[in-house]
Structure 1
Amino acid sequence: MKARLVQEQTLQWKMNQSLLQAIHILQFSSVELIDYIQEISKENPLIEEVNYDYDIAQYRSSNSSSAVIGEINQAELTMYDQLKKQLYTLDITKEIKPLVEFGIDSLNEDGYLEIDLDLWADKCNSTIKQVEQALSMIQSLEPVGIGARNLSECIVLQLQSLPVYRPFIKNLMTEHLEWIAEENISAITKHYDTNDTQVKKIIEQIKSCHPKPGRLLITKRPDYIIPEASIYKEMGMWKISFYKWNAPTIKINKTYEDLKDLEKEAADYLKEKYKQVDWLKQAISYRTSTLERVIQTIVEKQYMFFEHGAFMLQPLTLREISNELDIHNSTISRAISNKYVQTKHGVLPIKFFLQSGIRQENGKQTAAFAVKQLITELIQHESKHKPLSDEAIKNKLAEEFGITIARRTVMKYREQLGIRSSMKRRDL
């Protein structure tokens, strides 16, 4: 554990500081971003004002009764629950599944595996080969980097999914981590017989990797909800309008515009402050453009939801959006963390649109959330004297909505929704 912490600190200290702060800003909600800029303005005399055109307090008071329907049936899931929910995507045997679940439960909050493979095999009365297979499955889950045993392996796992990956990177991360920390390009190019351009790209990608992927699965409820954008229909097309507070503008104090008449020390000081403001504007622009691209993709992928409502929600993963936009999935996860959008269905967390899917018996995939909504709807309108059995619900889903799933899946979802069996729902 101690060695891993030392490695992480070495990388973090050597990272380009502006990159770290840009990543930091990417995670902010609009309210947090404005607070952050105002905090910086206390020690930067150039920042005279932060403009966002609309009083957030006014929005809160006028929308205080808005329902956050995205939270319907969405219990707060732990990192472990979220990982286990992804297991449906794997071709996993009955013998290996308990090993995989044990491995998930053995991760720490950062997403690292803390148990030794021999002990894992012993605890599960299994073989090392089977445990290694289970570990490989865990490491295939999202976010990439989950299940790593140290920082180096965590970064290698993330890089393996990118075009920049080269076979020598694994050796570089395990044997020569100090070259990465020092950005010793010449040593890397010479030792691995590559070129400067390739090494620079690799180092930049390493900087973008998340050192604690498990933290990306921790949900934090905001004190109050302020959406980043509004999604609405106009002239038959779905459009996105970002609120002004999503991209606040920084007004510069004109008193400090002319540096010619200042002493060198004062002029140098203000030049640094100008650099800080320029960087801040770039980071805000990056945050806004990234969020805009992600939301636009979600609107396109979840078009049927916006047209017809929750019943038409489609399965969608971080990896799909990542592939679509050619942006690392950890960057997307940061960009949508604790952020909301205003829709005709209410204020929804952006993560609401990332839904796990259920594979139907005909091979098609349907969002689990949509199936749960349909089950709820069917039970709400059933006869109180003759409530629907799980088998009857299964048949109605197939006949009325073309969704073919097993009866045991209906039972599982009904229980997750907290709905009693048909026998216990009968009105005597």
Structure 2
Amino acid sequence: MLNPGWFLNELDHHRIGCITGVPCSYISGLYSMLEDGTRPYFPATSEGEAVAMAAGAWLAGSRGLVLAQNSGLGNMVNPLSSLTQPFEIPVILGVSRRGWPAGTDEPQHALMGQITPDLLRLLDIQTDNLAADPATAARQLAYAADRCDERLSTAFVLEKGVMDNAVPSCEVVEPEPLPRATVRVLRGGPRPTRAQVLDSWLALGISRPTVATTGYTSRELYGLDDRDNHFYLVGSMGCASALGAGLAITGLPVTVLDGDGALLMRMGSLATLARHVRTPFLHVVLDNGRHESTGGQRTNSGGVDFAAAALACGYRAAWRCDGREAVAAALREAVAYQDGCVLVHCLVRPGVESKPPRPKDRLPDLALRFRNHVTDHFATRLRLLAGRSKEPAEGGSDGYSIRP
């Protein structure tokens, strides 16, 4: 049986800078220690969101561990198959095996308990049971860390009893909530196209890490101006904001260019972002009410107030914009916020004049280009967050002061 404190020390040794996931009673002692606030632990609202956060942490130069029970594997399949695998972004998974041995758990876990290792291997992830012996487990964790350097993911199946749960719960002290803002409504000019909103963002000239959601948003951003600080999601619909969260929790300023249909898929990410992100984080929602790249079918966004939802989840500020001049003004105001998440909800015209181009580079090359840009241009911030430097930082190329 592994002591959770020993396990966490091993994670520190292997530079795991982001631990995220959704709890399971099989390893409750580990979660109790994580919640004492001394570790880089960022609970997610879903297991798929956690995978995207861990991917974002790797893109920021760190390593990510996702903890989940196997009942959440269904939520993880999409980002594991359409984000981490095609981009060759390594993550380490710790998946508890509910429903195994057969007949020892509730009926809803029976099928997943049977197929857990096979499902992980089917996703092309090397999978093994985490040993209850510390010496063996240490070798397994070292091997998984080495595989991260080779851009390969590893999964550990956590059998019941592998972790000592006799750990007292700690008191979790949450920060006092900030005063709730009100939505700022701006109107001015004709309703813009998606490309015009993207152009307004590019015109600000702020070179911070920028994540664009899948579909035409990524493709139009690529067609307008392909930059090293752009990450183009080509799948994993709904995961852009969570991937941005993984970047932001390492200390980076981030912009996420999201879509109405994509955000609706993982609205829980609003709460995750508001709770964990303290760096400048601009969340732009381009709302045309359509699934544009699949033929223009309607989304369910017609009655959704994304700006009010963001504020309800704890965002610092939010704008609702109708008109090209209104969008430009809101973006200028939003980038002035230095601490935490803000959201700009942009109403945009549906339709495109012509289909935008797809990125020509291999996806693994695009991921490495982005990672190299981030670690080169924000090295001081990342060193401070990792505790390797105590020197005060100067202003960065993102136009914001860098604070640990």
The TM-score bracket by the shorter chain reads under 0.3
TM-score normalised by structure 1 residue count: 0.23
Structure with a larger share of its residues in strand = 2
Greater Cα radius of gyration, structure 1 or 2: 1
Q: Name the TM-score, length of structure 2 as normaliser.
A: 0.24
